[in-house]
Structure 1
Amino acid sequence: MYSYFLTIYSLVLFASDVNAYSSGSPDAFCQYDRLDGRNVILRPGHNVRPRNPAPHGYRLETGQFNPKSLRVTLRAAPNDYFRGFFVQATRADFPLEAINRPAYGTFRPLDANSQARRCRAAVGGVGGITHTNNRDKNVVSFDWYPPASCNLGNVQFVATVVKQYNEYWVDVRSPNVTGIGFQGERGILCQLYNDPFNTGIQQEVIRLLSQQQQQQGQQQGQQQQARTAG
């Protein structure tokens, strides 16, 4: 339990940053030192502005949700292509540029065209998924895993799609996905997941972490006394 809380405490914030890499965003793309230094709009470092809105042929589609995962597909129009991408799950209809925009869950690739990325997060491992090469792609699919036993409400997937260096789009969105996760009362950890920048909830998690540390120290002391007495 202590290690679980320690992981949560060390992952209090999340970030999103996409750079111009043909083999996908680098491992450290979503690590950051300051909250105001995050690239929350998922814009790659191409030194050109996105060409929004994206053509209708670029779509993020979702399959049927099961208790553990959801199939997500990024698709171009027939006879069209994309080369790079980054996809993340967020709260439905939440502005992409909002500094407090949350990110949810982790991704698992289904083929050699995608790779998962891990980011700092409110609870557990949160991340996104990106490309592995700059070959032309018409469709790519992957599985998304929400946090266990958390009621996230409505979720939406958001993508940055790159066709070539000077031609890319941000804020490509899926339809809303409803009824994600456990439907019930949220504990403190799920509250932090849904509101990752709430300082009151953060302080409560830190208090629980300190409590766990004290309990672990007491247990270790008792075990040491028992060994000495024996």
Structure 2
Amino acid sequence: MHVYILLVLCVCVRGVTSFPNGEVEESCQSMTPNHSEFKSQTSSSPYKVSVNSTTFTAGQTITVTLQAAENASEFQGFMLQAREVDGKTAVGRFTSINTVQSRALNCFNIENSTLSQASADKKSHFEATWEAPTNSSLGDIQFVVTFVRDYPVFWNMVNSSTIRSTSPINTPSTTRFTVILLALTFTSINL
């Protein structure tokens, strides 16, 4: 009888921690699934993340595609964010969210800053639209994804190529350089 109760308890606990519906807010920063007895794979990911642009400006949208390599198994789960290169938090937000395939999460108090799977259905392709913030200047970004093939097998923090920011970044040194350049220009004109 005790063995039966223990077995039922183990099955219930595993079901609760696998998050097939994508409710993984506790993983916002680390992007590591709560599969405590398993570690991220160290081999190259058979899944990739690609984008439709190599540059972006404030307010621009980018299409992000998650895809299994040819002859690779489909993936069950994912967690997707945009981050500044070497950044630790999500930036921007996802728009036009397909709620059948994904669910939006409000990581780092940013609405829709993260997407994860809506169910454990297998998928070989997923597409999303991301929007850069309109009220701030970001540096270069990458899309970061954790792919879950199945409960014990996942690849953490798979990066897209770098997307270069073409928005002006107003730092003190940039502003100082601009003032000096303008002063030299006006001096040249008056000579």
TM-score normalised by L of structure 2: 0.69
The within-5 A match list for 1:39-188 is 40-64=29-53, 65=56, 67-79=59-71, 80-94=73-87, 101-108=88-95, 109-110=97-98, 112-121=100-109, 125=111, 127-179=113-165, 182-185=167-170
Q: Distance in 1 between matches of 2:78 and 2:153?
A: 12
TM-score normalised by L of structure 1: 0.58
How much has 1:83 moved relative to structure 2? 0.4
Other structure's SS at 2:106 match: strand
Q: In the alignment, is the contact (CA less than 8 A) between 1:106 and 1:144 conserved in 2?
A: yes
RMSD of aligned C-alpha atoms? Answer: 2.4
Q: Distance in 2 between matches of 1:160 and 1:54?
A: 14
Q: In the alignment, is the contact (CA less than 8 A) between 1:150 and 1:183 conserved in 2?
A: no
Query: Aligned residue pairs: how many?
Result: 150
Percent identity of the aligned residues? 25
Are residues 166 and 56 of structure 1, via their aligned partners in 2, closer, same or farther at CA, if it must alter by over 3 Å?
A: closer
How much has 1:184 moved relative to structure 2? 4.5
Once the two structures are superposed, residues 144-202 of structure 1 have per-residue CA deviations (whole angstroms, 9 ceiling, x without a partner) of: 1121132111001111110111111101111111016x42437xxxxxxxxxxxxxxxx
Q: For residue 41 of structure 1, what is the amino acid of its counterpart?
A: S
Q: Which aligned segments of 4 or more residues in structure 1 are displaced greater than 3 angstroms? A: none
Q: Distance in 2 between matches of 1:141 and 1:22?
A: 19
Q: In the alignment, is the contact (CA less than 8 A) between 2:45 and 2:158 conserved in 1?
A: no
Are residues 154 and 174 of structure 1, via their aligned partners in 2, closer, same or farther at CA, if it must alter by over 3 Å?
A: same
Computing the radius of gyration over CA atoms, which structure comes out larger, 1 or 2?
Answer: 2
